[in-house]
């Protein structure tokens, strides 16, 4: 425990080696990592968290590199977490950190870390949340969470961000159609990257049509439909609060990056002024607590199951019609439920 306290002290003192060690413990779920995250919690809440997702080939890594470089030019510190949920067999991102963050190599105030699934995607989502907390507690001004893919898994992961940007390559009609499956609901900003290529104008037009359709939909609640602006602040849109913006960039040259960062700043200001930031943070903590409860309860039940001879024993009995799945679940949960009720009745 003393070693963990020292590690936390070193992280809070701004030592990048300690930050890297803490995130490694978080990613590997090493013994004591929960205590580390708990100690860091009181030091969080200051970083601006930005999620970057979108289809493969959209240029996410190049844009993130340019974002980090621009923030550094402004004197702000940056932490980047790059996620690859589809590669559970790797120890990190597919590409090396130096390749992915080429223009920021050697800048200690840009901390880059790649994370891969190494197991359940739910665990990766929780690990990402914890890693963001470590970067926040360390004192990074901006924390960027970049995902490699653009499926449901990535949607869950980028929900840890205050502002979510979805990159769409030009001329990608199929990709724009795919966005309707869910990413549309979480996007605060759409970025048509590689905007110097053919098809960019059409992609922008298709996205505008999608945003207008979303505004007309009764499902348009993600961007603050229920959040009223303060008396002194006019909402960006009376019905939705924030209408997703569409930005064109050429990340390779840096064109449009300043405008993109300005739009992120606009969204951050809207979150604060409308009260949506506090609401969003509350929902995030609610989801985190529920996730941890599910994980811990599942682990406890696995332990109980192992102590009773393992799952196969129960499956055999179900196959022989000696019991049924509901009765098995009731039997396994019963001692845990009895213990919880007893403690509650005793006032513990």
Residue pLDDT, tens place only, 81-124:
998 765 544 444 433 343 344 455 555 689 999 887 554 555 67
What span, in angstroms and rounded, lies between the C-alpha atoms of 176 and 168?
7
Mean pLDDT of the residues in the chain: 82
For residue 38, the model assigns a pLDDT of 97
pTM metric for this prediction: 0.83
Strand partners, 54: 167
Under DSSP, is residue 35 helix (H, G, I), strand (E, B) or coil?
helix
Comparing CA positions, the residue from 136, 158, 156 lying closest to residue 146 is 158
Residue pLDDT, tens place only, 165-214:
988 888 755 556 656 556 677 889 999 988 888 888 888 888 888 888 76
198-206 LR contacts (CB < 8 Å, sep 24+): 198/170, 198/171, 199/170, 199/171, 199/172, 200/170, 200/171, 200/248, 202/170, 202/171, 202/173, 203/168, 203/169, 203/170, 203/171, 203/172, 203/173, 203/176, 204/246, 204/248, 206/173, 206/176
Contact predicate 268/76, CB 8 Å: no
pLDDT category of residue 151 using cuts at 50, 70 and 90: low
φ/ψ bin of 347: left (φ > 0), alpha (ψ from -120 to 50), beta (otherwise): left
Question: Rounded to a whole number, what is the distance in angstroms from the first to the last CA of the chain?
Answer: 26
Q: Which residues contact 118 (CB under 8 A, 6 or more apart)?
A: 27, 28, 88, 91, 124
Comparing CA positions, the residue from 126, 46, 112 lying closest to residue 82 is 112
Higher-confidence position of 181 and 251: 251
Q: Which residues contact 222 (CB under 8 A, 6 or more apart)?
A: 185, 186
Please report the DSSP string for 232-285 in residue order.
T---SSTTTSSPPEEEE-BTTTTBTHHHHHHHHHHHHHHHHHHTHHHHHHHHHH
Contact predicate 105/98, CB 8 Å: yes
Mind listing the domains of the chain with CATH numbers? 44-274 (3.40.50.300), 291-345 (no CATH)
Quote the tokens at residue 273: 């002024």
What span, in angstroms and rounded, lies between the C-alpha atoms of 257 and 259?
5
For residue 91, the model assigns a pLDDT of 42
Using a pLDDT cut of 90, give the percent of the chain over it: 53
Contact predicate 47/135, CB 8 Å: yes
Under DSSP, is residue 166 helix (H, G, I), strand (E, B) or coil?
strand
For residue 100, the model assigns a pLDDT of 44
């Amino acid at each position: 425990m003393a070693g963990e306290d020292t590690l936390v002290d070193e992280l809070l003192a701004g030592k990048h080696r300690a930050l890297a060690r803490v995130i490694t413990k978080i990613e590997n779920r090493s013994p004591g990592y929960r205590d580390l995250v708990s100690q860091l919690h009181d030091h969080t809440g200051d970083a601006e968290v930005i999620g970057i997702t979108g289809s493969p080939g959209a240029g996410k890594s190049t844009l993130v590199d340019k974002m980090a470089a621009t923030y550094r030019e402004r004197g702000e510190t940056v932490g980047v977490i790059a996620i690859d949920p589809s590669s559970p067999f790797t120890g990190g991102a597919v590409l090396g950190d130096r390749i992915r963050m080429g223009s920021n190599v050697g800048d200690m105030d840009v901390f880059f870390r790649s994370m891969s699934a190494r197991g359940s995607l739910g665990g990766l989502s929780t690990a990402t949340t914890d890693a963001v907390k470590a970067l926040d507690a360390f004192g990074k001004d901006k924390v960027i969470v970049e995902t490699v893919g653009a499926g449901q898994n990535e949607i869950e992961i980028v929900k840890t961000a205050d502002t979510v940007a979805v990159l769409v390559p030009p001329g990608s009609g199929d990709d724009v159609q795919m966005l309707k499956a869910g990413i549309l609901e979480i996007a605060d900003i759409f970025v048509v990257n590689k905007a110097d290529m053919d098809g960019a104008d059409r992609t922008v037009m298709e996205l505008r049509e999608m945003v207008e359709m979303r505004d007309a939909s009764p499902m348009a609640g993600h961007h603050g439909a229920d959040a009223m602006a303060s008396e002194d602040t006019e909402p960006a849109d009376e019905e939705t609060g924030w209408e997703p913006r569409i930005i064109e960039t050429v990340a390779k040259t840096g064109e449009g990056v300043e405008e993109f960062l300005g739009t992120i700043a606009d969204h951050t200001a809207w979150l604060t002024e409308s009260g949506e930031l506090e609401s969003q943070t509350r929902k995030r903590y609610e989801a985190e607590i529920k996730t941890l409860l599910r994980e811990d309860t599942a682990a406890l039940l696995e332990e109980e199951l192992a102590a009773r001879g393992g799952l196969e024993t129960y499956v055999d009995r179900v196959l022989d019609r000696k019991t049924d799945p509901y009765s098995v679940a009731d039997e396994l949960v019963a001692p845990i439920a009895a213990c919880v009720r007893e403690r509650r009745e005793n006032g513990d």
